[in-house]
Chain A
Amino acid sequence: MKKINIMFFGIILICLTLFIISFELEKDSSSGESDKTVNIFNWGDYIDPKLITKFEKQTGYKVSYETFDSNEAMYTKIKQGGTAYDIAIPSDYTIKKMIDNHLLLPIDHSKLKGLGNIDSKFLNLPFDPGNKYSLPYFWGTLGIIYNDKYVKASEVKHWDDLWNPRFKNSIMLIDGAREVMGLTLNSQGKSVNDTNVKDLQAAYEKLKKLSPNVKAILADEIKVYMAQDEAPLAVSYSGEAMEMMDNNKHLHYIIPEEGSNIWFDNMVIPRTAKNIKGAYAFLNFMLEPKNAAQNAEYVAYATPNKAAKKMLPKSMQDDKVMYPTNKTISHLEVYDALSQKNLSKYNDLFLQFKMH
């Protein structure tokens, strides 16, 4: 009994000490009023940390930086409004959903400096006409990554090539209903936003035949596995592909020409924002070509900032993985925000596919 008491006491003591230390640390880091802090909510590993320091030095604001790993998780957190985020960086279809649910503040373009640096083809997109609520941060595509040790370039040109019986048990798919259903719809000449029940059912029937070729359905882990030669083929995003290719020179990335997904991550100001001035300071800071270029070099995703793109190393600018030709881009589609009913339909079919 005595032993247990000592143990309990010990645990409580440890908790208290940790609590006091963290309290002290927090007091240090957030000294000053709340209008001196900018709360930023971003994807993990999606900004050069040096830029945050630079921003703090330049503007005198303190940055409180938090990360999320899915649009849905971010959406829920902002909707519940526990923390007052001043800046968030959701993807296209989530931005549409947030606008529809009045979760965002309109952006006053007269307070922006350097909006002209953004390539006009990334402005005024259907999910946010006129960029009333969002400004482009990064963009990318969905495609196939192959290892030239096991697969010839001529063997993977189209989505349909994934169904080749030669690739038995060798494909790693990204764990997303929109992505996997979308590529199947593309292979059938349909849109990634198709909601026709018959088309979806047909896509599912086709997808079922892909099962023998699928080795695993994963998320971020694909990066590590592909770099380690664990599988010859994978379906993932361009930015992830860049990272894999840095670690394994046998890997290549292609965008099937019949069509694929193009996505955008844009900066928004949530309705719950407290430090609006700070939010604009950050938007302007990220619009500056020098900062955007530094960020693009660190994160290795494609920047929509054309002035920044010119500052990148030549090899990066000419990279067809990051910056596909305009012809390729014209075949790509943005995911629309689906209604709850259609979203369920996509997910149910995808779940059934996973069961095979």
Chain B
Amino acid sequence: MKAKGLYFSSYVLWLLLFVLAPVALILYQSFISINGNFTITNYENFFKIVAYLRMTFNSVFYAGLITLITLLISYPTAYFLTRTKYKQLWLMLIILPTWINILLKAYAFIGIFSQAGPVNNSLEWLGLGSHQLLFTNTSFMLVAAYIELPFMILPIFNAIDELDESLINVSRDLGANKFQTFWNVTFPLTLNGIKSGVQVVFIPSLSLFMLTRLIGGNKVITLGTAIEENFLVTQDWGMGSTIGVILIAAMILIMFLTGEKKRRGR
């Protein structure tokens, strides 16, 4: 019993120090105006200044697109992965790129997409001429999707892998065709994997900011950029925290929406 209490208290201490305390500090800071007063001006400004609202829209829009792209690629990948012979090996190869720092990957893409890079070289060789690839919305989304891909594949893979094979056999025995089986049995049963995949990808995508500069050339401005600027350049920590609080609220909302609240009804 004693050991249990020890484990439990260390866990609580961790939560207090590294989860609750920072969030509380950000929440407090977000009410401090640029003059050091305790007000709600920051929140008023956020909803009053058009730039911030557009940035919020941009963030949600691009994060949504990135999530959709990764989902479309990941589900089939994960599905076929579970059907392969050496699936653990394949899975490891997919996870391997996550061992490399995100900045290094971004710099690699700068080389790949540049005017004299391999992509443009091959386009030219094919007679399609060279194109401006860097600093476009497409390249930004492509690179972001590439980076987030493993985080979407993993939970979906696990969900499909854990699926009881006999359920599919039953469905086929009872006369459902391959598509019906997939749509009525496999898909609903792996929905939880998709949900956690969406959470893991969408939430960090909301505040991507290094990529917006390196690949997007600061033509895509998200809330992450605004936070960086408020903390480092303007040194208006209050406004930066306010945006942070709004992001946290958005994340809680996403968790709530993709959470398992329907269970109770059944």
B138 within 8 A of A: no
Contacts of B63 in A (CB 8 A): none
B232/A215 in contact, CB under 8 A: no
Chain B CB within 10 Å, residue with most, of A72, A172, A347, A355: A355
**Interface mask (B231-256 → A, CB under 8 Å = 1, otherwise 0):** 01111100000000000000000000
A348-B51 in contact (CB<8A): yes
Instruction: Decide: B217 and A230 in contact? CB cutoff 8 A.
Output: no
- A169-B132, A347-B233, A355-B55 known; A175-B218 Cβ under 8 A: yes
Residue pair B217, A72 in contact (C-beta under 8 Å): no
Q: Is the CB of A355 within 8 A of B51?
A: yes
CB–CB B135/A351 < 8 A = no
> Nearest A residue to B213 by beta-carbon distance?
A218
B232 near A216 (CB under 8 angstroms)? no
* Cα–Cα, bound, A76→B115 (Å): 39
Residue of B nearest to A72 (CB): B232
Tell which of A112-120, A156-164, A190-198, A338-346 binds the partner: A338-346
Chain A residues within an 8 Å CB radius of B49: 348
Task: Find out whether the CB atom of A177 lies under 8 angstroms from the CB atom of B233.
Answer: yes
Residue numbers in B under 8 Å from A347 (CB-CB): 229-230, 233-234
Give Cα distance in the complex from A73 to B217, angstroms.
22
B234 near A216: Cβ-Cβ < 8 Å: no
Query: What residues of chain B lie closer than 8 Å to A169, measured between beta carbons?
Result: 132
CA distance A153 to B226 in the complex (A): 37
Contact B51 A216 (CB under 8 A): no
* Docked-complex contact B116 and A73, CB < 8 angstroms: no
* Separation of A341 and B34 alpha carbons in the complex (Å): 8
| Chain A residue contacts of B226, Cβ below 8 A | 351
Enumerate chain B residues within 8 angstroms of A218, measured Cβ to Cβ. Answer: 213, 217-218
Write the B198-241 contact mask toward A (1 if CB under 8 angstroms, else 0): 00000000000000011001110100011001101111100000
Contacts of A343 in B (CB 8 A): 234-235
Given contacts A217-B217, A228-B114, contact A351 B232 (CB under 8 A): no
Cβ–Cβ < 8 Å partners of A172 in chain B: 217
The answer, yes or no, to whether B134 is at the interface (CB within 8 Å) is: yes
How far is B235's CA from A70's CA once the two chains are assembled, in angstroms?
12
Complex interface: chain B residues within 8 A of A175 (CB): 213, 218
Please, how many angstroms separate the alpha-carbon atoms of A215 and B221 in the complex?
A: 14
Count how many pairs of residues, one from A and one from B, have CB atoms less than 8 Å apart in the complex.
Answer: 73
Chain B residue nearest to A216 (CB atoms) is: B217
Quick check: is A109 within 8 A (CB to CB) of the other chain? no
Please state if B134 and A344 are interface contacts (CB–CB under 8 Å). Answer: no
Q: Is B54 an interface residue (CB 8 A)?
A: yes
Tell which of B110, B132, B225 touches A221, judged by Cβ atoms closer than 8 Å. B110
Contact B229 A351 (CB under 8 A): yes
Contact A228 B219 (CB under 8 A): no
- Within the complex, which residue of A228, A344, A348, A354 is in contact with B221, where a contact is CB–CB below 8 Å? A354
- Residue among A177, A217, A354 facing the most chain B CB atoms (10 A cut-off): A354
Q: Is the pair A229, B116 in contact by a Cβ cutoff of 8 Å?
A: yes
Q: Is there a chain B Cβ closer than 8 Å to A219's Cβ?
A: yes
Q: Measured between C-beta atoms, what is the minimum distance from A107 to chain B in Å?
A: 26
How does the 8 Å CB contact mask read for A68-81 relative to B, with 1 for contact and 0 for none?
A: 00101100100000
B-contact 0/1 string along A116-133, CB 8 Å cutoff: 000000000000000000
- Chain B 43-60 interface mask (CB, 8 Å, partner A; 1/0): 000000111001100100
Please tell me if A352 contacts chain B, counting CB pairs below 8 Å. Answer: yes
Chain A nearest CB, measured from B32 CB (Å): 12
Chain B residues with CB under 8 A of A355: 51, 54-55, 58, 221
Q: Which residues of A contact B235 (CB under 8 A)?
A: 72, 76, 340, 343
A352 touches B51 (CB 8 A): yes
Assembly CA distance A343 to B116 (angstroms): 39
Alpha-carbon distance between A343 and B218 when the two chains are bound, in angstroms: 20
Cα distance A272–B4 in the bound complex, in angstroms:
47
B51 cross-chain contacts in A, Cβ below 8 A: 348, 351-352, 355
Let me know if A215 and B115 touch, CB within 8 A: no
Are A215 and B217 CB-contacts (below 8 A) given A228-B116, A348-B49?
A: yes
Which listed residue (A70, A221, A230) contacts B115, Cβ 8 A?
Answer: A230
User: In chain A, what residue has the closest Cβ to B234?
Assistant: A347
CA distance A214 to B221 in the complex (A): 14
- CA–CA, A337 to B49, complex, Å? 25
Interface string of A177-196 (1 = CB under 8 A from B): 10000000000000000000
The reply to whether B34 and A216 form a contact with Cβ atoms under 8 Å apart is no
Residues of A within 8 A of B225 (CB): 354
CB distance from B138 to the nearest CB of A (A): 15
From B35, B219, B225, B234, name the one whose CB has the most chain A CB atoms within 10 angstroms: B234
Interface residues of B in 9-30 (CB under 8 A from A): none
Interface string of A200-232 (1 = CB under 8 A from B): 000000000000001111110100110011100
Which residues of B are interface residues toward A (Cβ below 8 A)?
A: 34-35, 49-51, 54-55, 58, 110, 114-116, 132, 134-135, 213-214, 217-219, 221, 225-226, 229-230, 232-236
Closest 9 CB pairs of A and B: A216-B217, A217-B218, A216-B135, A352-B51, A347-B234, A354-B221, A355-B221, A72-B232, A230-B115
Given A172-B217, A217-B218, 12 further pairs, Cβ under 8 A: A70-B233, A76-B235, A169-B132, A218-B217, A219-B213, A229-B116, A230-B134, A340-B34, A341-B34, A344-B236, A351-B229, A355-B55
A-B contact pairs, 25 of them (CB 8 A): A70-B232, A70-B233, A72-B232, A169-B132, A175-B213, A175-B218, A177-B233, A214-B219, A216-B134, A216-B135, A219-B213, A221-B214, A224-B110, A230-B114, A340-B236, A343-B234, A343-B235, A344-B234, A344-B236, A347-B230, A348-B51, A352-B50, A354-B225, A355-B55, A355-B221
